[in-house]
Amino acid sequence: MAESVESAEPAEPAESGSTEETGGATAAGKGRRRIGVLLVVAVLAFLIDLGSKLLVVARLENHAAIKVIGDVVTFQVIRNSGAAFGIGQALTVVFTMIASAVIVVIWRIARRLYSLPWAIALGLLLGGALGNLTDRLFRAPGVFRGHVVDFISVQHFAVFNLADSAIVCGGILVVLLSFRGSNPDGTVHQPVEKKEK
């Protein structure tokens, strides 16, 4: 009586739950792309910034400052042609180009975005950059030379807006994620241990 003989082949490791280590990066299951989260965060940050600027320009420009926390925090409208602290006021076009470049870079990263924290961080950066870029493009004195509306004044600090706040928060989150070894594509970078001789 003939018995069926199974060919002896090496078993392949199961793919589910497996991780690959390549160049110190641990690749887990990537899951869903997070472009939708990035866009939602960016749109919310942009709309909140735009709405706040429209409101303060209509209600506060050419009026006395409003005290929020004594003299420490006040609301007063300032048209800023430069960056934070009034730096580079003659370089408005340069700042417009930088903001445009940041948006392009974020969009390129978004094509391989699988990490939720990275999606939130990049969404904040994108929304903030779009908020200030909108001022550069559409406010006086002209296209690419528009002055950004700043209105949150902190004593002994800069006058800034909500787009600046989104950029700062997004930047801090990016730094923290980088220190933790997290990558936008959902992988985690781990330092390669040197083998003892």
Which amino acid makes up residue 55? L
135 is catalytic: no
Q: What would the two tokens of residue 180 be? A: 């933790």
- Which of 71, 135, 164, 185 is an active site residue? 164
Catalytic residue among 49, 71, 150, 185: 150
- Active-site residue, 71 included: no
- How many DSSP H helices and E strands does the chain contain? 4, 7
In b/e form, how buried is each residue of 113-148, taking b as 16+ CB within 10 angstroms? bbbebbbbbbbbbbbbbbbbbbbbeebeeeeeebbb
Extract the tokens encoding 95: 């700042």
Q: How far is CA 136 from the centre of its chain?
A: 19
Report the catalytic residues: 150, 164
